[in-house]
Amino acid sequence: MYNIADAKNYQLTDNTFDDVSPVFSKDGNYIFFASNRDFNLDFSSFEFDYLYNKATRIYALVLKADGPKLKKDKNDVEAIKEETKADDSKKDTKGKKDNSDAKKDEGVKVVIDMDGISGRIIALPMESGNYFGLAAVDGGLLYVSNGKMMRYNIEEEKSEEIIERAFNYAVTADGKMVLYNAGDDYGIMKIAPNQKPGTGKLNLDNMEMKIDPRKEWDQIYTDGWRIFRDYFYVNNMHGVDWAGLKERYSALLPFVGHRADLDYILCEIVSETNTGHAYVDWGDFKQVKRVDGGLLGAELVADEVAGRYRIAKIYDAENWNADRRSPLSEIGIDVKEGDYLLSINGKKVTTKDNPYEFLENLGGKKVEIGVNSKPETAGVRTYMIEPLKSELELMYLDWVNERRAMVDKLSGGRIGYIHVPNTAVDGNRELYRGMYAYHGKEALIIDDRYNGGGFIPDRMADLLDRKTLSYWHQNGLLPGRAPGIAHDGPKVMLINGYSSSGGDAFPYYFKKLGLGKLIGTRTWGGLVGISGNARLVNGGYISVPRFGIFDENSNWVIEGIGDYPDIEVVDRPEQLAKGIDPGIEKAVEVLLKELEANPVKKVSPPTPPDRSGWIEQEIK
């Protein structure tokens, strides 16, 4: 807390916990804040692993040593009312004035006793969970939890729901009303319990703005320049004359004729810093409405002799997974590779047609197809299928399965293969899923090629760094071990120029932990990360690199350089087009040599011990 009177900072809570969102109560007696102080253990469904979540509660800090209690002492003794005489009830009030209106609002004077203040923290009576958006109002506190705007009533010591689906709001100066945002809607309503969604909704249909594009572009230019300067991760702007750049590029502003022209100028400016993750994102561009064409999850080839399309390949699928289902391999659909696609929704399909024209705007909708093992209508089979809106997940799964089959064939089943597409949700899922399935293999290939980044992958590196610490024997069962998911054999990681951001950090951690060799080509080299910053007036955005990586020797690493491979292998496109993957082949070769030199030790349970007699054994 900063005290304006003496121009000093005061620490109100210690460094033990993460305390956020402080707000003074309306009466000046408390500071409400959210804090992560509850350690709620939650177990993984896949292995013996755990974390702590839903750690937040809302707390009140009593500012004065003799400040009022939030939780009132309750007395179950009923007060006795004395009877009053009729004459006593009539008082002569003639000539007396009510001075209540004459009282002036002297405002709230906040007094804080610093001595022992950390001992005056009180938890409000609500379960630990996720709380944010604290705002003080008369008699209590507003907050957001579980998608609902809530109010804590101090007098009644309870929480009450105001409205659901309202995540952002602003309280009026008198504390009686609130402007809220729910989805795309805005509304103004009284702060009262059990308001219905849409209460006080503002009709913005006729709200228009007259904008002078040139003035707006000039403002965006200046704002973007300032935002990049103020949020940049180091204060020297990489040695660039930032003020001079603004002046130099401003000469182009009179020639801007479209928002895209301004984006071009902004891209040129931010690129002057030679920093990764510096992106310019347009704002209020009009977008063409997207029409989802239907896709079959298959590759079609034209049979020019027959004049028909043949289904050359049906992508591998996981039909139990909605994101990776294949319309042609679902239950009840008997379509095979080599069959001919003869009709779609009763319309004849020939090589004179683009077959996807018949699937226009039919993604996710029911469609009838006619197929046959021969390019003729006699014996045609018809099925109702639901085409996909995108085949990307199926194509990715197919690509991974092809490489896994390569590794399995080249190694005789001894080596496992895991591709990690990014270090965000999908990449973590693929890594953990792969480790659960293949940690029993003698060796592992971790494929970081085309890794698009995401989170900082220290947890992913931790998973690969696990080693078996002990084994556990149970009669009649296979031995268990701790940790349950760990890999003790050799590993390599494949990298290339598309291993970027978190895909740069992952091989860096892999090598730093001594987990194995890097094989491929140098990574992208972009590890000054982004974590959000101010936006532009028209909704556009410039992502500013905000945090840069350096090592324990105080050296900047990776940014602008990347990770170099221990063994350079170039995946030439003409080889990949033929189904040859040089990186995979080299990885298998390296690991087989390592396994030959250092075979993975097979661990078996010892002979059951005999503890029937006196045991004398030297304990060292």
Whether 500 and 584 share a structural domain: yes
Do 530 and 503 contact (CB within 8 A), yes or no?
no
- Same domain membership, residue 589 and residue 496: yes
In terms of domains, do 229 and 139 share one? no
What is the pLDDT at residue 102?
A: 46
Tokens representing 25 are: 């109560």
Residue 616, domain member (yes or no): no
Is residue 260 included in any domain, yes or no? yes
> Is 43 domain-assigned?
yes
The answer as to whether 56 is a domain residue is yes
Q: Residue 454 belongs to a domain with what CATH number?
A: 3.90.226.10
Token pair of 475, please? 């009669």
pLDDT computed for residue 319 by the predictor: 95
465 and 586 belong to one structural domain: yes
Residues 515 and 532 in one domain: no
Ranges of the chain whose pLDDT falls below 50: 89, 100, 102-104
State the Cα–Cα distance between residues 311 and 296, nearest whole angstrom: 10
In a shared domain, residues 270 and 320: no
How far from each other are the two terminal CA atoms of the chain, in whole angstroms? 57
- Closest by alpha carbon to 460, among 409, 505, 402? 505
426 and 516 share one domain = yes
Q: Which residues are 123's β-sheet partners? A: 59
Give CA–CA dist 410/267, Å, rounded. Answer: 46
Residue 89 lies in a domain: no
Q: Indicate the burial class of 232 (C-beta count within 10 angstroms; 0-12, 13-18, 19 or more).
A: buried
Domain-located, residue 612: no
CATH of the domain at 316: 2.30.42.10
pTM of the model: 0.90
Regarding whether 420 and 458 lie in a shared domain, the answer is: yes
Per-residue pLDDT tens over the stretch 149-193: 999 998 888 999 999 989 899 999 888 999 999 888 999 999 999
Q: What is the pLDDT of residue 287?
A: 82
Same domain, 269 and 154: no
Do 41 and 149 sit in the same domain of this protein? yes
**Residue 409 domain flag:** no
Answer whether 132's CB lies under 8 Å from 21's CB.
yes
Same domain, 315 and 369: yes
Peptide bond into 213 cis (omega under 30): no
129 DSSP assignment? B
Per the structure, the complete domain to which residue 340 belongs is given by 298-388
SS (H, E, C) 464-519: HCCCCCEEECCCCCCCEEECCCCCCCCEEEEECCCCCCHHHHHHHHHHHCCCEEEE
In a domain, 96, yes or no: no
| Total domains present in the chain | 4
Domain boundary among 156, 190, 224: 190
Q: What pLDDT does residue 278 have?
A: 96
The domain spanning residue 33 has which CATH number?
Answer: 2.130.10.10
445 and 513 in a single domain? The answer is: yes
Rounded to whole angstroms, the Cα distance separating 600 from 51 reads: 32
